[in-house]
Amino acid sequence: MKIHMLGAALVVAATGAQAQTVGFSQIGSESGWRAAETTVTQQQAEERGIDLRFSDAQQRQENQIAAIRSFVAQGVDAILLAPVVATGWDSVLEEAAEAEIPVVLLDRMVDSDESLYLTAVGSDLVHEGEVAGQWLVDNKPEGECRVVELQGTTGSSPAIDRANGFRNAIEGSDDIEIVRSQTGDFTRSGGKEVMESFLQAEGGGDNICALYAHNDDMAIGAIQAIKEAGIAPGEDILIVSIDAVPDIFQAMAAGEANATVELTPNMAGPAFDALEAYMADGTEPEKFIQTESALYTQDDDPMAEYEARKDLGY
Ligand code: AHR
């Protein structure tokens, strides 16, 4: 396969080759969902006979940039990038393009020109926030509902888009108000710590009607904080979050969480399919390959959902 930079556009002449060696710059292991995405990517590579070179950036963009440069130096056939934040990728993506190496984005977006990557596999992150917000609009108790929000990593596309989507959904509901919003960095410990401060600031929790967490791990940490404060999560404070990891289904089965929006950890399958077709005969994938965002509630047999997911690498 040959790729040439033509102005800002990536132009590729297919040679019928398949990706043999793929570099994967992963963000880290901040959440159960992230661990599952890593596992699934490794499984997908193994099934296809791909030599996957894995790099864990431990949440740092500079580590991801160094990993991409190292993949370029190694001469890999393609690069998978799950970008920790949305900005700051232009230079390194240009370097990959100049080295004729296609890059596929996984689960998060960048603000670079789309000619600098082959395709992006992910969910509609704004829609996820809208689904979560609509669940609250439809299920909140009568009267005023004061919401606290645990945001994902600052500057990451899911944190930006899930915040916006939720606000879109509650826009027409004058009795729903986001009273506190802070990042918990997509981690359980972050979710617990920030929720403790929310509870303290909001009358020990008496003034909070619902928690919206940008991922399940932060919700699980927050549930712990709520229980330690002597309040009933899922009843006194409604809990809606995103990912659909096994542990949130256990919390839902126990009545301690109310709703989650699924994000599949299988981003690599569609990514490798797109790379394979592209390398075989130059088939251009869509610029965005969208995964589903299904809503699950306590009515959806949470224990069955837990059983179906518990051995999938979360
Ligand atoms: O980019 C996807 C998000 O990143 C997941 O929702 C979250 O769990 C992870 O850390």
**pLDDT for res 8:** 35
- Domain extent at residue 240: 125-263+297-309
What pLDDT band is residue 10 in, cutting at 50, 70 and 90?
very low
Please tell me which residue, 98 or 19, carries the higher pLDDT value: 98
Q: Residue 6: pLDDT above 50?
A: no
If you measure from the C-alpha of residue 33 to the centroid of ligand 1, how many angstroms do you get, rounded to a whole number? 6
What pLDDT band is residue 18 in, cutting at 50, 70 and 90?
low
Q: How far apart are CA 33 and CA 30, in angstroms?
A: 8
Q: Residue 11: pLDDT above 70?
A: no
Instruction: Assign 9 to helix, strand or coil.
Output: strand
Record the pTM.
0.94
If you measure from the C-alpha of residue 15 to the centroid of ligand 1, how many angstroms do you get, rounded to a whole number? 35
Q: Which atom of ligand 1 is nearest to the CA of 263?
A: 6
Q: Which among 25, 29, 31 is the best mutation to test ligand 1's pocket, defined by most ligand atoms within 8 Å of the CB?
A: 31
- Mean pLDDT value across residues 203-217: 98
If you measure from the C-alpha of residue 7 to the centroid of ligand 1, how many angstroms do you get, rounded to a whole number? 33
Q: How far is CA 198 from CA 3, 31, 165, 281, in A?
A: 51, 21, 22, 55
Q: Where are the alpha helices (DSSP H) in 75-186?
A: 90-98, 125-139, 157-170
Q: Which atom of ligand 1 is nearest to the CA of 33?
A: 8
What pLDDT band is residue 17 in, cutting at 50, 70 and 90?
low
Q: Give backbone dihedrals phi and psi of 313, rounded to 5 degrees, phi first.
A: 95, 5
If you measure from the C-alpha of residue 174 to the centroid of ligand 1, how many angstroms do you get, rounded to a whole number? 30
**pLDDT for res 12:** 43
Q: Which atom of ligand 1 is nearest to the CA of 243?
A: 6
- The verdict on residue 248 lying in a domain is yes
Please say whether the beta carbons of 244 and 309 come within 8 A.
Answer: yes
Count the domains in the chain: 2
80 and 158 in a single domain? The answer is: no
If you measure from the C-alpha of residue 46 to the centroid of ligand 1, how many angstroms do you get, rounded to a whole number? 23
| Distance between start and end Cα atoms, the chain | 35
- The verdict on residue 290 lying in a domain is no
What pLDDT band is residue 13 in, cutting at 50, 70 and 90?
very low
Q: Which atom of ligand 1 is nearest to the CA of 156?
A: 1
Portion of the chain with pLDDT greater than 70, in percent: 94
Q: Residue 87: pLDDT above 60?
A: yes
95 and 225 in a single domain? The answer is: no
Tokens of 58: 């431990």
Q: Residue 252: pLDDT above 80?
A: yes
What are the pLDDT digits (tens) for 266-307?
999 999 999 999 999 999 999 999 999 999 999 999 999 999
What pLDDT band is residue 164 in, cutting at 50, 70 and 90?
very high
Query: Ligand 1: which residues within 6 Å by Cβ?
Result: 30-31, 33-34, 107-108, 158, 186, 215, 217, 242-243, 263
What pLDDT band is residue 2 in, cutting at 50, 70 and 90?
very low
226 and 145 in a single domain? The answer is: yes
User: Residue 256 region, left (φ>0) first, then alpha (ψ -120 to 50), else beta?
Assistant: alpha
What are the pLDDT digits (tens) for 27-70?
999 999 999 999 999 999 999 999 999 999 999 999 999 999 99
Rounded to the nearest integer, the mean pLDDT of the chain is 94
56 and 135 in a single domain? The answer is: no
Q: Which among 263, 264, 293 is the best mutation to test ligand 1's pocket, defined by most ligand atoms within 8 Å of the CB?
A: 263
134 and 249 in a single domain? The answer is: yes
What stretch of H or E contains 46? helix 32-47
Q: Residue 5: pLDDT above 90?
A: no
On the CB side of 126, CA atoms within 13 Å amount to 4
Q: Where are the beta strands (DSSP E) in 131-237?
A: 145-151, 176-183, 210-213
Q: How far apart are CA 272 and CA 104, in angstroms?
A: 9
175 and 302 in a single domain? The answer is: yes
Please say whether the beta carbons of 77 and 16 come within 8 A.
Answer: no
